Amino acid sequence: MISQPRAGKSIGRFALSEKTLLSIKNLKKVFPLQGEELVALGSVSFDVYPGEFVTIVGPSGCGKTTLLKIIAGLLPKSEGEIHVDEAMFDPTREVGFVFQKALLLNWRRVLDNVLLPIEILKLDKKKYRSKAMEMLELVGLKGFENAYPNELSGGMQQRVSLARALIHDPKLILMDEPFGALDAITREKMNLELQRIWSESKKTIIFITHEINEAVFLSDRVVVMSARPSRMVGAVDIDFPRPRKLEVRTTPQFGEYAVKLYKMLEIT
């Protein structure tokens, strides 16, 4: 799928008539901390459009994981709004989460790990067996369905967790630094694989990474968060056509996107 490049430069630039899958306005999260309050999310606003690949970057501790958990319904918000277009998707059943660590159950075979959301959603496991096999094929793990997680490499485990996030056909996939623990070569392969899976399965993805190059390579749009109390400081549309090859990283345009993001992050 080639997502349409969007006109304009800043967050909030989209025409009001364009339908959002998810719209977040002035989201705030405060954690109690030793008798005081820690403002994890100051005031976060951003929109996500159906089929988009959006990446969030920001300094460590600025609240990226907190934001994803609130979107997934794993944490309550303190203030603000999350508007979901329920005609497009059901936020209680159609969200997939890929955590920073694969978090597989070591005593279950790969296939049964992939089927975990089906059990949680109380769906018929037998019906989803062939779907689970399909998902394993999609992530390049055909033939490993009966292996145990500790018989797989880190990259393979992360792919199992991606298959698990896809099994119940979620519309929205939330990915929290999923490739952070992988070596550079495996990470590049996973980037290519993720691009392929995203375009074949036509999902909407919100992705978190610390790697600017990974963000530029994968995304339609990269959104930058400030340090705590966090807010969105800007966004960059990435207008390379799809499918992208790794060589795109050597183009001057790629470098310009990266510099823009580094500047927003005040790293330069």
Ligand X SMILES: Nc1ncnc2c1ncn2[C@@H]1O[C@H](COP(=O)(O)OP(=O)(O)OP(=O)(O)O)[C@@H](O)[C@H]1O
Residue ranges that bind ligand X, judged by CB under 6 A: 31, 33, 38, 40, 58, 60-66
Name which of 67 and 216 has its Cβ closer to Mg ion: 67
Name which of 64 and 168 has its Cβ closer to ligand X: 64
Q: How far is the CB of 61 from Mg ion (least distance, A)?
A: 8
- With vertex at residue 190, the alpha carbon angle to CA 184 and CA 196, rounded to the nearest 5 degrees, is 145
Phi first, then psi, for residue 106 (nearest 5°) are -65, -25
Q: Is 65 in the site for Mg ion (CB under 5 A)?
A: yes
Helix (H, G, I), strand (E, B) or coil at 57: strand
Select the binding partner of residue 38 from Mg ion, ligand X, none (C-beta < 5 to 8 A, by kind): ligand X
Select the binding partner of residue 61 from ligand X, Mg ion, none (C-beta < 5 to 8 A, by kind): ligand X
Select the binding partner of residue 148 from ligand X, Mg ion, none (C-beta < 5 to 8 A, by kind): none
Q: Which amino acid would we find at residue 10?
A: S
Phi first, then psi, for residue 207 (nearest 5°) are -120, 140
Q: Please state, in angstroms and rounded to a whole number, the distance separating the CA atoms of residues 45 and 63.
A: 13
Peptide bond between residue 229 and the one before it cis (omega within 30 degrees of 0) = yes
Name which of 57 and 139 has its Cβ closer to ligand X: 57
Q: Please state, in angstroms and rounded to a whole number, the distance separating the CA atoms of residues 4 and 39.
A: 36
Residues in binding contact with Mg ion, number by CB under 5 A:
1
Q: How far is the CB of 159 from ligand X (least distance, A)?
A: 21
Name which of 17 and 60 has its Cβ closer to Mg ion: 60
Q: Please state, in angstroms and rounded to a whole number, the distance separating the CA atoms of residues 213 and 249.
A: 7
Helical (H) or strand (E) element with 83: strand 79-84
Select the binding partner of residue 1 from Mg ion, ligand X, none (C-beta < 5 to 8 A, by kind): none
Q: How far is the CB of 265 from ligand X (least distance, A)?
A: 12
Task: Name the residues that contact Mg ion, by CB under 5 A.
Answer: 65
